[in-house]
Amino acid sequence: MTKCLIIGSGPAGYTAAIYASRANLKPIVIEGFQPGGQLTTTGEVENFPGYPEGITGSELMMDLRKQALRFGADIRAGKVEKVDFTQRPFKAWVDEENYIEAEAVIIATGAYARYLGLPDEKKYAGMGVSTCATCDGFFYRNRVVAVVGGGDSACEEATYLAGLAKKVYLIVRKPYLRASHVMQQRVMDNPKIEVLFNTNTVGLFGEEYVEGAHLVEYKGEPNERFFDIAIDGFFLAIGHKPNTEIFKGQIELDDEGYILTRGKSTATSVEGVFAAGDVADPVYQQAVSAAGAGCHAAIDLERYLNTK
């Protein structure tokens, strides 16, 4: 039994644990299948406040974890497999038999980027393959990069990267962009962006880092054509998927599966359950905004418990 259960780690979960621990709530944190979250797969992080020389994602997460432990957070390995928010205290099963009862819960299970499913994406992860232009674009100043996707996110990332890179390829598998008219116009009007319609990526190549991409135009059609482009960075912008499978039917989610929160708070549709970080944020998805949301959730939870 605990006053505060935090499901998930990462910037949101660990920051929530720091604040909850300092409030003497003695939180239990279940780290999930990827302790530290998405950031542990990121190489250099240069945009998180307090690290003027930059820091690796795994080191940053280790620092946050150590800080939470310092204040007394009970951090446990494991993955929550099932929850029951229909009765109080709430229950969360870490495996089939063992469960934790909690007066209040913070969900910080994050989201994961969608990939094309190419083996090369894993091979060059952190070595030229990225899922966040805002995070990693700085490393590709005056270089050539490619962005995969045809929606608003892809167009936004291509436009952002065009302000840094020498040239940006936008690889679109359809013969048109799905983005809003405004975003389409920005892409088409930018001389640094070249849109490759009807094109799929079939592989990446390079000695140690990404040096190019294998592409196919009009895949499966009579006029199919294979060709390569030379690039230094490969950015995936085909969307994210929140880790909310176990919460379906328990709390309110939007059409994409993100947790809906109430007003400016982190409160969910179930009183006493709060959400922080990328699991409830389809817009910003930055480590610093997730950390801020973790702070908000811990404060919201403490105030909720005080009213009870």
Q: What CA–CA distance (Å, rounded) separates 217 from 199? A: 4
Check if the beta carbon of residue 133 is closer than 8 Å to that of residue 149: no
Half-sphere exposure of 77 (CA within 13 A, CB side): 0
Q: What CA–CA distance (Å, rounded) separates 47 from 49? A: 6
Check if the beta carbon of residue 138 is closer than 8 Å to that of residue 46: yes
Q: What is the DSSP string of 71-105?
A: TT-EEE-B---EEE-SSSSEEEESSSS-EEEEEEE
Q: What CA–CA distance (Å, rounded) separates 24 from 287? A: 25
Q: What is the DSSP string of 188-256?
A: HH-TTEEEETTEEEEEEE-SSS--EEEEEESTTSTT-EEEEEE-SEEEE-S-EEES-GGGBTTB-B-TT
Nearest to 15 by CA among 213, 304, 291: 291
Out of 4, 120, 136, 300, which one is annotated catalytic? 136
Out of 135, 232, 281, 300, which one is annotated catalytic? 135
Check if the beta carbon of residue 279 is closer than 8 Å to that of residue 258: yes
3-state secondary structure of 107: strand
Active site residue 4: no
Active site residue 189: no
Out of 120, 132, 155, 278, which one is annotated catalytic? 132
Residue with tokens 């708070």: 265
Active site residue 132: yes
What amino acid positions are annotated as catalytic residues?
132, 135-136
